[in-house]
Structure 1
Amino acid sequence: GHLYPVARLCALARERGIVSHVDGAQAVGMFPVDLHALGCDAYSASLHKWLLGPMGTGVFFVRAGARGRVQSAFAHDATPEAPNYGPPGTAGLPLGAGLVASLDFAGALGIENIAARTRFLSDHLKERLAAIAGMTPLSGPDRATSCPGSTIFELEGVDAVEAVAVLAERARIHIDEHQRDGHNAIRISTHVYNTVDEVERVVEELRGLRP
């Protein structure tokens, strides 16, 4: 649920001769990503999340100046002596076709429009959650530090794992639990295809779980 100063961190790493790799799994497809502006040596992301691509698709970028230091653990059979960033075997053509459709969809909507819509829904969700007693937000406190579409919070007296199961069974609402760093948290992702009515419904269901 947080936005981090990635460009600054990559610059600090570069000043110290450290190779930087950014895990962008929760960024690609949610908001614009400028790899050159980030200044990272390598960037990877799974594309089935916010980009809505097929499961098993991803991207791995290595900056031209870093390719001598960042090498794949696997090499293609035809060129075992050369660093290779392609699949070590037969390419998954159906996955590639599905990914093209996902890219076309995101391109037709516009990534800036997707970011604006997810931000609008997330802001509305945060506002409605704030009215529930015992709610503690864990996402970034403002737009500069919070992801557009990911909202993480705790509800006093509510077990996050149980809440996920109950909402899925009772209301066909699919959210996620966030059991990290000692937190008993719930994560809700609002994407471009979600509606304000759906946000209202999940808030009311969560309110009903409070003791």
Structure 2
Amino acid sequence: MRESVTAKTRVIAFSHISNVSGIALPAKEICQLAKAKNILSVIDGAQSLGMMDLNLTEIGCDFYTASTHKWLMGPLENGIFFVKKENIARLWPNVLSAGWKDTTTTVDEKLCVLGQRNETSAFAIPETIDMHLTIGRKVIEARVRKVNGYLKERIQSRIPQATFASPLWEGASAGITIVGLPGKTPADINQKLYDTYGIAAAPAGGIRMSPHIYNTLADVDKVVEALAALAV
């Protein structure tokens, strides 16, 4: 990445955790690189919010975006947008409605005046966050990492011919495990997992599985046995 940054670079935007490879990028180090070169940093946190114990102040990003329905397990069609206060003046919305104000101090007035929308679903976000805080962010991350680590170990043991698109190294891993089965298409395997075994996966980068805190190790064993049967 350092070699890709030039004098023309104005923004470094990246996914904290890739949905097609499962790799967790070193967000803090990337943001430090951006800051050192007076470049804005933008993080897509769709796969990290609700899974990782995040501290955006420590990470040091200028902007952070995420959806609420993924790892946060909140309402659909809602998102979270973090902006450093000193960057508010640099933003300009592309959707405006009545009551909009060009302000440099209040994000709500400048970026969130969008006209009619489903307010009721947004009201569930604070409750969702309270649930996560009650369980504990560190507890959630530790559990997700444990279940995913077990999933990878079981696949390696039970289906040695399986290939991994997601990292096996803990330092670059998070909550996503993506595998391929030789001679099989991900879309076909994902459909059979759902139709035959009632297992939901996604054909993103391979056969993508994202076990969460509500999944047990017994659930993982069921998934691995299903994959083993479909790998034949």
TM-score, normalization: structure 2? 0.83
Q: Deviations over 1:150-208 (max 9, x none)?
A: 111212122110001001001111011124xxxxx111011000111110001000001
Q: In the alignment, is residue 146 of structure 1 matched against residue 173 of structure 2?
A: yes
CA distance in 2, matches of 1:124, 1:137: 14
Of the three residues 70, 81, 106, the one matched with 1:60 is 81
Match of 2:215 in 1: 194
Between structures 1 and 2, the one with greater helix share = 2
Match of 2:19 in 1: none
CA distance in 2, matches of 1:87, 1:44: 18
Farther off after superposition, 19-28 or 9-18: 9-18
Match of 2:14 in 1: none
Match of 1:38 in 2: 59
Matches within 5 A, 1:47-126: 47-82=68-103, 84-90=110-116, 92-126=118-152
SS of the residue corresponding to residue 158 of structure 1 reads coil
Structure 1 counterpart of 2:50, one-letter code: G
Match of 2:187 in 1: 161
SS of the residue corresponding to residue 82 of structure 1 reads coil
Of the three residues 202, 213, 216, the one matched with 1:176 is 202
Farther off after superposition, 121-130 or 131-140: 131-140
Q: In the alignment, is residue 208 of structure 1 matched against residue 197 of structure 2?
A: no
- Determine if contact 2:98/2:113 at 8 Å carries over to the other structure: no
Farther off after superposition, 15-24 or 118-127: 15-24
Q: Deviations over 1:133-157 (max 9, x none)?
A: 311122223211101x211121212
- Determine if contact 1:128/1:203 at 8 Å carries over to the other structure: yes
CA distance in 1, matches of 2:88, 2:101: 16
CA distance in 2, matches of 1:103, 1:52: 9
Distance change >3 Å, CA 79–CA 85, structure 1 → 2: closer
For structure 1, list consecutive stretches of 5 or more residues without a partner in the other structure.
180-184
- Determine if contact 1:75/1:82 at 8 Å carries over to the other structure: no
CA deviation after TM superposition for structure 1 residue 76, in Å: 4.5
CA deviation after TM superposition for structure 1 residue 209, in Å: 1.0
For structure 2, list consecutive stretches of 5 or more residues without a partner in the other structure.
1-21, 105-109
CA distance in 1, matches of 2:123, 2:57: 27
Of the three residues 151, 157, 161, the one matched with 1:134 is 161
Q: Deviations over 1:64-97 (max 9, x none)?
A: 1222223332344223433612241245331123
Q: Deviations over 1:32-64 (max 9, x none)?
A: 111111111111000100000110111011101
- Determine if contact 1:60/1:85 at 8 Å carries over to the other structure: no
Distance change >3 Å, CA 164–CA 87, structure 1 → 2: farther
- RMSD (Å), alpha carbons: 1.6
CA distance in 2, matches of 1:11, 1:67: 20
TM-score, normalization: structure 1? 0.90
SS of the residue corresponding to residue 144 of structure 1 reads helix
Percent of pairs with identical residues: 32
CA distance in 1, matches of 2:64, 2:226: 38
- Determine if contact 1:152/1:187 at 8 Å carries over to the other structure: yes
CA distance in 1, matches of 2:160, 2:98: 60
- Determine if contact 2:89/2:103 at 8 Å carries over to the other structure: no
SS of the residue corresponding to residue 27 of structure 1 reads coil
SS of the residue corresponding to residue 90 of structure 2 reads coil
Aligned length: 205
